[in-house]
Structure 1
Amino acid sequence: MTKVLWHITMSLDGFIAPEDDSVEWMFGHGAAGPLGMETMERLGAVLSGRRGYDLGNQPGEGERKLYGGMWSGPMFVLTHRPYDVPADSRFVFLSAGVADAVSTAKAAAGDRAVGILGADLARQCLDLGLVDEIVVHLVPALLGGGVRLFDGGAPVGLRKLRCDDSGQITDLRFEVVRA
């Protein structure tokens, strides 16, 4: 059965992006440990929201490849806003509902996992009972504001599966507990 994983980096105060949406705060603390590599290797497809796609593909900032360019595979973007797809795009744009987008990504992933990126899309997937695991790389930084990891959703029970230290970063893996 194809699992759906929410894979994310978070500050100690619970933010995945500061108010200016910069990413520099994530770096300079060392690399994620074995759990990060294992998670990346488990993925057969990635599903992102439009905001994450826009932030990761801003002109003038150079190419910021997913997982530092170490991962390749089907990448989907769920959006309800008009878009122009570059001719060389590695992304497939979807405009269906969240459940349909997850089903599309699962079909592409085959027997591997689907990685969900971002906060809002992940919250919607959690609300629909579509997320199986959450993998968080906890970075020793306090952002003080920005995009919260989880905001506005119904409570979700979790069971810790793993906790690793890799230098300054703490890697956490949780299973979503279903009633």
Structure 2
Amino acid sequence: MRKLSYFIGMSLDGFIAGPDDEVQFLMDHLSPAYLEYLKTEWPETLATAGRRHFGCDDAENTHYDTVLMGRATYGLGLKDGMVDPYAHLKTYVFSRSLAESPHPAVELVAGDPVAKVRELKRQDGLGIWLCGGGNLAGQLAEEIDELVIKTYPVLAGDGIRVVSGEFGPRPYELTGSRSFDNGAVVSKYARKR
């Protein structure tokens, strides 16, 4: 069965974006060594335009072949004209407000996210990447098998939490961690069942 991984960047205080969907404050902490790590270890998590820019557009998907995101996360790229931000992955956008997909390769899901993820887990393929946002992560909390958290050395104070939803502790086990010269730390956790 395929795994659902929440691979996400966040501030030290647990925010994935600012109150108005700002993410640049996280991107300000990229460095050549850190970008090289993402290019070689997690190439499918770079947007298609980023893959071209960094010269890794021919890289094979190593972890994921499917990406899930909420409407707000999808909207970040959409406002810059990226109608299919991850053309190298099968893309699902969970939204009750979008009536029609801006791109034929992007499938809109208006129904129950949990039911859709369970359906996807039963299919053959690589892992499933939940790339945002916090609301969708909260709805899918029971289905998240793995966390890959890129923690950046900045406090946000307010914004969109990494997971939004009702209180419900879910234990994870640290399976790996790597720190970088830019102060970022990438930590990987497996769900304890």
Q: Normalising TM by the smaller chain, what interval?
A: 0.7 to 0.9
Q: Show the counterpart of 1:20.
A: 20
2:55 — aligned with what? none
Q: Is the 2:17–2:159 contact (alpha carbons within 8 Å) kept by the matching residues of 1?
A: yes
Question: Partner letter of residue 85 of structure 1?
Answer: S
Structure 1's unaligned 5+ residue stretches are: none
The alpha-carbon deviation at position 104 of structure 1 amounts to 4.4
After TM superposition, the runs of 4+ consecutive aligned structure 1 residues lying more than 4 A away are none
Partner of 1:176: 191
Describe how 1:141-160 pairs up with structure 2 within 5 A: 141-153=154-166, 154-160=168-174
Can you give the 5+ residue segments of structure 2 that lack an aligned partner in the other structure? 45-61
Aligned residue in 2 for 1:4:
4
CA contact 2:16–2:23 (8 Å) conserved in 1: no
TM-score, normalised relative to structure 1: 0.82
**Identity of paired residues, percent?**
26
Q: Which of 55, 68, 72 in structure 1 is aligned with 2:76?
A: 55
Relative to structure 1, is the Cα distance of residues 152 and 93 closer, same or farther in structure 2, using a 3 angstrom cutoff? closer
Between Structure 1 and Structure 2, how many residues are aligned?
Answer: 169
Using the TM superposition, give the Cα deviation of residue 119 of structure 1 relative to its aligned residue in structure 2, in angstroms: 1.0
Distance 1:24 1:132 in 2: 28
Contact in 1 for aligned 2:12/2:151 (Cα 8 Å)? yes
Q: Alpha-carbon deviation of 1:54?
A: 1.8
Q: CA deviation at 1:28?
A: 2.8
> Is 1:124 the equivalent of 2:139?
yes
Give the match's secondary structure for 1:12: coil
Structure-1 separation of matches of 2:74 and 2:192: 29
Equivalent residue runs for 1:51-90 within 5 Å = 51-58=72-79, 61-63=80-82, 66=85, 72-86=88-102, 88-90=103-105
> Structure 2 counterpart of 1:98, which letter?
P
Question: 2: CA distance between counterparts of 1:21 and 1:160?
Answer: 29
Normalising by structure 2, we get a TM-score of 0.77
